Amino acid sequence: MHDAASAFRHDALFSVPSPRIDAAEAEALAADAFGVAGAVSALASERDQNFRVDAPDGSAYVLKLTHPAEHPGVTESQTFAQL
């Protein structure tokens, strides 16, 4: 059974725009929020916006901007799957 909040979330997933930033903004966000500097490249995604961050030391990270209407449980599951 769906409640009103989950129905709204489902509708919003298709009517609210996905996050959109460019590579320069993603690079600044990774550095400012997480202290990770590196070259940024966009990754494919359905509703989110994802970037690969390649650090100078050879390590790589994923910067994920979640769709604002996504259920927190879905985001949490995706995060755990990436770890």
Residue 14 forms part of a structural domain: no
Residue 27 forms part of a structural domain: yes
* pLDDT at residue 8 tops 90: no
Greater pLDDT, 72 or 26: 26
Report the pLDDT averaged over residues 14-18.
Answer: 78
Number of structural domains (the chain) is: 1
Residue 51 forms part of a structural domain: yes
Residue 78 forms part of a structural domain: no
Residue 70 forms part of a structural domain: no
Domain of residue 26, residue span: 19-65
Residue 56 forms part of a structural domain: yes
- What are 41-61's pLDDT values in tens digits? 999 988 889 999 999 999 999
Query: What is the predicted pLDDT for the residue at 79?
Result: 83
Residue 10 forms part of a structural domain: no
- Residue 41 · residue 54 · CB < 8 Å: yes
